[in-house]
Structure 1
Amino acid sequence: MEVFAVPGLPEVRAGDDIAALIEAQADLQDGDVVCVASTIVSKAEGRAFDLSAFEPSHRARSIARRLEGITGDRKDPRFAQAVLAESEELLMEAPFLLTVTQFGHITVNAGIDRSNVPDGDLLLLPDDPAASARAIRESLSADVAVVVTDTSGRPFRHGQRAVALGWDGMAANRDWRGERDRDGRELGVTVQSVVDELAGAANLVTGEGAGGTPVAVVRDWSFGDHDGHDLLFRDPETDFVRQALRQWSY
């Protein structure tokens, strides 16, 4: 398997054709997996906003005051309002905002970015990353899969890693259940999140910060002869951590 970043991409602006920008810099081949940072997808889809676009509600002001008291740093209630607007549910309001986005991803601050946003104060995640991945894939001339990625923190561990937000052209998971291990025992629970693993591999070569590149290509990787499915985000009924957080207070 080969993983390489796509160099030379320009600063993406609202309305830009991401597929065309990628194909101008990369000779894609059938079977490639193209991993695209959600940052440039959001920029192309016009998801950059100024804080002034978010009039804070009473709840947003209350959240900002509470976080100020905990951290000692000033918190803008307009930012809290942006997080509320982008969230289906707030699992935690303190000591930070842990949210469920409208498309089911659980992350801090609804994934809103405040860095590398030349056209606004805030960059929101794509409305529908799966639809974004589909649109990019359908516009590329090669028969590839597309994964829209983002970085997020992890419970129980320090550091961030890339995960998949949306994908098209492949299943999210390899399902090993029903297959056999080396000793012939049947696997009963193993489901491998390959879109997350590919996102992580891509992030190793794209990098972070000012020197980062937003697109990577995975080549000569095969899904293999496995069943697959797209159940990446746990539903609330079987997500026991989410259920526990609903009962917990800081």
Structure 2
Amino acid sequence: MTAPRPGAHAPATPQRIEVLAVTGIGEVRPGDDVAALLTAAATGTGAEADAAAGVGLRDGDIVVVTSKIVSKAEGRVRQAPDRTQAIMDETERVVARRGDTVISQTRHGFVMAAAGVDASNTDPGTVLLLPEDPDASARRIRAGLGGRVGVIVSDTFGRPWRNGLTDVAIGAAGVRPLDDFRGTSDTYGNPLSATVTALADEIAGAAELVKGKLDGVPVAIVRGLSHLVTEDDGPGVTPLVRPADEDLFRYGSRDVVFARRTIREFADRPVDPEAVRRAVAAGIAAPAPHHTTPWRFVLLESPETRTKLLDAMREAWIDDLRGDGFGEQSIAKRVKRGDVLREAPYLVVPCLVMEGSHTYRDDRRNASEREMFIVATGAGVENFLIQLAVEGLGSAWVSSTMFCRPIVREVLDLPESWDPMGCVAVGHAAAPPRDRAPRTPEDFILTR
């Protein structure tokens, strides 16, 4: 059996866990000290505490705090007649949309309904925003509580494929967020290769059983998990947020087309060839005339081949520009703008083939036949680009190979019947793309 990572998972399952509601906290206002309110309520000494409130706070306890009171204390309250503008302001990326329901990614990396903007349990005409930095909030609360305790800031999330809501951790301090069993074996000796338990989320969900949505109990203490409490603040919830490249469901079906963006600056990271091949599979699913398959995708996975092709294309471009009367300084600027292909770690040359096309007696119909195949090739490339975005890859479709097709065929040893239709730069975006200029569909529609 492969030894687990040091400290990767708990040494044993606890035999008893208690979840205790902390009552008597009362209404939280901007500027309140959450840790002081919790201490007073947990010990039964606060002004609003009742006889049942004094559950105490012990070393090894994990305190789960609803994000709403953290947001209120930190002044994350906004005047708003409705949530629409607040949701837009808090949204970094729209993942899916249906009617008035918006699933958004926040700048924290959380994917949740309405970017976490909440109009419940707050004064009419106001909304609550998520804490600016929930991990930092958890660290401050933990420092204020003192002792060896953990703190989780929780919020309510929906879940794909499942009805109902549950609380999860959006901030943590002093709590190990994950239990990683990869590299170990189960009781039958089967190797575990994908088992990673979201401990912080499980604790947040357990705490919600005693907090409730309507009972006015924003805090719970989970007791019996002291082995998950760490001496330092730890990594927070960062390990719980799935990286974009590992997210198989990054985009909602209604918004996946809009995920495709032209990327011209790429990070120095390799591209998974299998991801590109999956994108090709999407490309060849496009419609085409006469049940044909007019697409071919040349994958330039060799750095030497990419350099050889780009050098030959650059020389051909320079010759064309000189022939058009451009000066050397102007030529240098134009060539520099074409470096997006040279900076990309992966290139793809989509090609058009006319196999299966019909031949007619007049040039007009033959020209229309070719146009149909060109349109089909464009549809295939668009499918390809969209799937690259789904795979977490950026791309830029550049027309350059269309201006020197004989050279491209020669360098890549392509059949004469293959027409290169530009070149697609592929890679991981070095920075988020710029916002699109707003476009209104009605501006592009003519109704008869």
What TM-score does the superposition give when structure 1 sets the normalisation length? 0.83
Per-residue deviation at 1:152?
1.8
- Other-structure match for 1:220: 224
- Other-structure match for 1:58: none
Q: In structure 2, what residue type is equivalent to 1:115?
A: S
Q: Deviations over 1:65-84 (max 9, x none)?
A: xxxxxxxxxxx5xx222111
Alignment root-mean-square deviation, CA: 1.9
Residues 142/222 of structure 1: CA separation in 2 closer, same or farther (3 Å cut): closer
Residues 163 and 200, structure 1, Cα contact 8 Å, conserved in 2: yes
Aligned partner of 2:211 among 206, 231, 235: 206
Partner secondary structure for residue 250 of structure 2: helix
Aligned partner of 2:80 among 51, 72, 78: 51
Identical positions, percent: 45
Residues 120/14 of structure 1: CA separation in 2 closer, same or farther (3 Å cut): farther
- Other-structure match for 1:24: 40
Per-residue deviation at 1:235?
1.3
Partner secondary structure for residue 41 of structure 1: helix
CA–CA distance in structure 2, aligned partners of residues 166 and 218 of structure 1: 16
Structure 2 unmatched ranges of 5 or more = 1-16, 43-55, 229-233, 259-448
CA–CA distance in structure 1, aligned partners of residues 74 and 124 of structure 2: 12
Aligned partner of 1:238 among 241, 246, 249: 246
Q: Deviations over 1:33-90 (max 9, x none)?
A: 00000000000000111116xxxxxxxxxxxxxxxxxxxxxxx5xx222111111111
Q: In structure 2, what residue type is equivalent to 1:168?
A: A
1:171-186 → structure 2 map (5 Å cutoff): 171-186=176-191
CA–CA distance in structure 2, aligned partners of residues 155 and 190 of structure 1: 19
CA–CA distance in structure 2, aligned partners of residues 119 and 243 of structure 1: 33
Q: Does residue 113 of structure 2 align to residue 108 of structure 1?
A: yes
Structure 1 unmatched ranges of 5 or more = 53-75
- Other-structure match for 1:37: 66
Aligned partner of 1:150 among 155, 180, 184: 155
CA–CA distance in structure 2, aligned partners of residues 125 and 244 of structure 1: 23
CA–CA distance in structure 1, aligned partners of residues 227 and 107 of structure 2: 29
Residues 154 and 168, structure 2, Cα contact 8 Å, conserved in 1: yes
Per-residue deviation at 1:3?
0.6
Residues 17 and 44, structure 1, Cα contact 8 Å, conserved in 2: yes
CA–CA distance in structure 1, aligned partners of residues 212 and 223 of structure 2: 18
When structure 1 is superposed on structure 2, of 181-190 and 228-237 the one drifting more is: 228-237
| Structure with the larger strand share | 1
- Other-structure match for 2:265: none
Structure with the bigger RCO (C-alpha within 8 Å, sep 6+) is 1
Partner secondary structure for residue 245 of structure 2: coil
Partner secondary structure for residue 164 of structure 2: strand
Partner secondary structure for residue 241 of structure 1: coil
Per-residue deviation at 1:243?
4.0
What TM-score does the superposition give when structure 2 sets the normalisation length? 0.47
